[in-house]
C-alpha cells in the first residue's frame, strides 16, 4: 500500500514538473519551435496546457512503471519543489514589505 502511495505521489509531482518544464522553460524553446513548425498536431498539443499535461502524465506513468530511474526522478521533482518554494518565499517577502510600509 505504501509503495502505491509513493508511486502516485511521485507521478503527480513528476507530471506537474515536466508539464511546467515542457511548456515554460527557456531551455526547450528551440525544441518547441522545431516541433511546432514540423507538425500541426503537436503544435495544437503544445498550445493547450491541459492537453500537454495529459500526454506528459501518460508518459510519466509509463516511465515510472517500467523504468523509474530514481536520480532523474529525484532531480526533476526537487527542482520543481524548489521553484514552488521560491515563489512562496517571494510572496511572503512581498507581503512583509507591504506590511512594513503600512506601519
**Segment 51-99, tens digit of pLDDT:** 888 889 999 999 999 998 999 999 988 988 998 999 999 999 999 998 8
The answer to whether 19 and 56 have CB atoms below 8 angstroms apart is yes
pLDDT above 70: residue 47: yes
Q: So what's the pLDDT on residue 95?
A: 93
The answer to whether 64 and 5 have CB atoms below 8 angstroms apart is no
Radius of gyration of the chain (CA): 18
Distance CA 39, CA 30 (A): 15
Q: What is the DSSP letter of 48?
A: -
Q: So what's the pLDDT on residue 103?
A: 62
Distance CA 76, CA 56 (A): 14
**Domain boundary assignment for the chain:** 2-102
Q: What is the DSSP letter of 18?
A: H
pTM of the model: 0.72
Q: End-to-end alpha-carbon separation of the chain, Å?
A: 52
Distance CA 19, CA 60 (A): 10
Amino acid at each position: 500500500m505504501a509503495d502505491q502511495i509513493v508511486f502516485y505521489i511521485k507521478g503527480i509531482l513528476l507530471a506537474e514538473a515536466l508539464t511546467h518544464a515542457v511548456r515554460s522553460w527557456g531551455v526547450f524553446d528551440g525544441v518547441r519551435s522545431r516541433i511546432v513548425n514540423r507538425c500541426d498536431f503537436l503544435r495544437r498539443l503544445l498550445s493547450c496546457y491541459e492537453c500537454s499535461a495529459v500526454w506528459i502524465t501518460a508518459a510519466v506513468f509509463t516511465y515510472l512503471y517500467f523504468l523509474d530511474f530514481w536520480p532523474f526522478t529525484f532531480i526533476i521533482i526537487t527542482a520543481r519543489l524548489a521553484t514552488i518554494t521560491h515563489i512562496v518565499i517571494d510572496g511572503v517577502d512581498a507581503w512583509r514589505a507591504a506590511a512594513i510600509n503600512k506601519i
